[in-house]
Amino acid sequence: SDVVIVAVDGPAGSGKSSVSKQVARALGFGYLDTGAAYRALAWHALAREVDTSDATAVLEAVSDFDFRISLDPDDYWVRSGEVDVTEAIREQRVTDAVSGVARVPAIRRAINAAFRRLVAASGRPGVVVEGRDITTVVAPDAPARILLTADPAVRAARRSAEISGSTAAEVAEALRRRDSSDSKVVDFLTAAPGVAVVDSTALDFDETVAEVLAVARREL
Ligand code: C5P
């Protein structure tokens, strides 16, 4: 398709989602949150009482998984069929199950094919696509590819501020565990050749958006 992709990868708590949304607004692009697809599939599997550590069972659950997502950065929602799961996919039980679902290669292939269709049908000049393997697998030929990083302690502190009911230490440990499990599947902690690194450790939100936009505008 002729739709331009700005690819943004990074670990949990790097600020990827909020930064990518803002960059999409600034460019007049769509915004695609790929983590939401893995989360929605985990939600769907849990709703069907599928054992999410059983790859075959999860693969079976994909067959009647009807993933829908808004690419509008100003009107973000996620649905599984007719069910609005925008909030539910952020629940801890889903977060705990998602890495197991995302580990299965056949699932990744099916979901990546869905991403390409969504981008092609976006009706936008471009889409900011955000996740873990966008710069390397989903859109390795994207004109602008960015790895957004931040020190683990800073990421844990940011995540902790968003979540209630857990201590900072619990959040840090959960983040570490998910990064460790996810990075066995795709490497999102080091930049692939040609990928620009933006380290947000010492930057606030606006500064991070400005840096990512600068990279995007330089490459587009
Ligand atoms: O970005 P977010 O934290 O919402 O992603 C949820 C999970 O989805 C990640 O922990 C990872 O297991 C999976 N994921 C992935 N590849 C992507 C995006 C997310 O495996 N491109």
110 pLDDT exceeds 80?
yes
Q: Is 179 in the pocket of ligand 1 (CB under 6 A)?
A: no
Q: Which residue from 128, 114, 118 is spatially nearest to 73, judged by alpha carbons?
A: 128
- Confidence grade of residue 1 (pLDDT, cut at 50, 70, 90): low
Distance from residue 86's CA to the centre of ligand 1 (Å)? 15
Query: Residue 186 gets which letter from DSSP?
Result: S
Nearest CA to ligand 1 atom 8: 35
β 30-33/67-69 pair status: unpaired
Contact 148, 19 (CB under 8 A): yes
71 pLDDT exceeds 80?
yes
Nearest CA to ligand 1 atom 14: 35
pTM of the entire predicted model? 0.95
Contact 19, 212 (CB under 8 A): yes
Return the H-helix or E-strand segment holding 114: helix 105-120
Spatial distance between the Cα atoms of 180 and 185, rounded to a whole number of angstroms: 9
Q: Is 212 in the pocket of ligand 1 (CB under 6 A)?
A: no
Total Cβ atoms within 10 A of residue 134: 31
- Confidence grade of residue 121 (pLDDT, cut at 50, 70, 90): very high
Q: Which residues make up each annotated binding site? A: 10-18
The mean-pLDDT minimum among 19-23, 71-75, 86-90, 149-153 falls in 149-153
User: What's the pLDDT at 162?
Assistant: 82
Q: Is 107 in the pocket of ligand 1 (CB under 6 A)?
A: no
In terms of Cβ atoms closer than 10 Å to its own Cβ (0-12, 13-18, 19+), residue 24 is buried
The mean-pLDDT minimum among 32-46, 99-113, 162-176 falls in 162-176
Spatial distance between the Cα atoms of 20 and 130, rounded to a whole number of angstroms: 7
User: What's the pLDDT at 188?
Assistant: 87
Contact 146, 216 (CB under 8 A): yes
- State the chain's mean pLDDT as an integer: 94
Which residues are bridge partners to 187 per DSSP? Answer: none
Q: Is 132 in the pocket of ligand 1 (CB under 6 A)?
A: yes
Spatial distance between the Cα atoms of 163 and 167, rounded to a whole number of angstroms: 9
Distance from residue 184's CA to the centre of ligand 1 (Å)? 12
- Confidence grade of residue 104 (pLDDT, cut at 50, 70, 90): very high
Percent of the chain with pLDDT over 90: 82
Q: Is 130 in the pocket of ligand 1 (CB under 6 A)?
A: no
Q: Which atom of ligand 1 is nearest to the CA of 9?
A: 21
Helices (H), 5-128: 16-27, 35-47, 55-62, 92-102, 105-120
The 10 Å CB-count burial string (b at 16+, else e) for 1-20 is: eebbbbbbbbbbbbbbbebb
Sheet with 78-80, strands from edge to edge, namely 67-69, 78-80, 83-84
Contact 71, 32 (CB under 8 A): yes
167 pLDDT exceeds 90?
no
